[in-house]
């Protein structure tokens, strides 16, 4: 197995692992293990190409260790070599077919490569192994959305929210999807539910403002644009929002003046 390495993994500790021999292993397996440990340490330090080299050397001595292929997959993925990462994860799955993370990572690679149909199958396999695998279900919902299978995406986002009522990203993605489908009332309702669980999810105020704007509810739109800027005064959308606030403010003044004329 590969060693668990963190950022505090020292050179001294690494040498101890490298010099440690397991008498139950063959000479080649011990050599493979040493290169695997070194590769894991390099990967955790973000030396991805150097770690890839060590993983490949390890595989020359022992090509039956799923941890080596898994580590290699992570490094290839981080280095931007998605096809190689897929091959590595698929090899790991052959040796360790019940490890849900391998299907998840393969799905992520397919997503990066815009192979949404294949990604969906991988996430579904991960969920078959572990129905409570939240990250896999969220990625499944998002991939359905990317593949324009919106009804399935909505169903999965709702399932996540039902089982994990504090999962802010699912509320946000569901509300944003409703906006994309012009279901602005549902978007507002979902964003407001999100704010009940996470009042610091500032983007929700902008989503509500835009949705009210689309519904021609200028007073509510204006109120939420201002709320958003209160919490996010340095927004990248600042110019657009200030312009919109100005336009809505002028429209409200015009409505008030016309009303006064009618009743006077």
Q: Where are the domains of the chain?
A: 167-264
Q: Does residue 36 have a pLDDT over 60?
A: yes
pLDDT-derived band at 20 (thresholds 50, 70, 90) equals: low
Position 250 scores a pLDDT of 82
Calculate mean pLDDT across residues 213-235.
94
Answer yes or no: are the C-beta atoms of 195 and 173 closer than 8 Å: no
pTM > 0.85: no
Q: What is the pLDDT of residue 62?
A: 96
Query: Does residue 189 have a pLDDT over 50?
Result: yes
Select from 56, 130, 134, 79 the least CA-distant residue to 100. 130
Structure tokens at 9: 């993994």
How much of the chain, in percent, has pLDDT values that exceed 90? 81
In CATH terms, the superfamily for domain 167-264 is Tetratricopeptide repeat domain (1.25.40.10)
Q: How confident is the model at residue 56 (pLDDT cuts 50, 70, 90)?
A: very high
pLDDT band at 257 (very low <50, low <70, confident <90, very high): very low
**150, 152, 154, 159 alpha-carbon torsion, rounded to 10°:** -170
């Amino acid at each position: 197995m590969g060693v668990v390495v963190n950022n505090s993994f020292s050179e001294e500790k690494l040498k101890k692992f490298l010099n440690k021999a397991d008498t139950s292993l063959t000479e080649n397996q011990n050599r493979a293990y040493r290169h695997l440990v070194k590769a894991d340490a390099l990967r955790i330090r973000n030396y991805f190409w150097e770690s890839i080299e060590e993983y490949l050397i390890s595989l020359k001595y022992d090509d039956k260790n799923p941890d080596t292929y898994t580590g290699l997959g992570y490094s290839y993925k981080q280095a931007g070599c998605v096809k190689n990462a897929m091959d590595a994860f698929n090899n790991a799955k052959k040796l360790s077919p019940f490890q849900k993370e391998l299907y998840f990572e393969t799905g992520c690679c397919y997503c990066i490569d815009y192979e949404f149909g294949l990604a969906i199958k991988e996430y579904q396999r991960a969920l078959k192994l572990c129905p409570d695998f939240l990250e896999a279900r969220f990625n499944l919902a998002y991939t359905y959305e990317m593949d324009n299978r919106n009804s399935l995406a909505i169903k999965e986002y709702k399932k996540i929210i039902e089982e994990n009522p504090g999962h802010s990203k699912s509320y946000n993605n569901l509300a944003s999807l409703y906006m994309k489908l012009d279901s602005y009332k549902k978007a507002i309702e979902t964003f407001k539910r999100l704010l009940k669980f996470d009042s610091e999810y500032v983007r929700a105020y902008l989503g509500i403002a835009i949705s009210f704007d689309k519904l021609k509810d200028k007073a509510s739109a204006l109120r939420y644009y201002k709320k958003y800027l209160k919490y996010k005064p340095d927004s990248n959308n600042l110019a657009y929002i200030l312009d919109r606030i100005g336009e809505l403010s002028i429209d409200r003044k015009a409505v008030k003046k016309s009303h006064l004329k009618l009743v006077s």
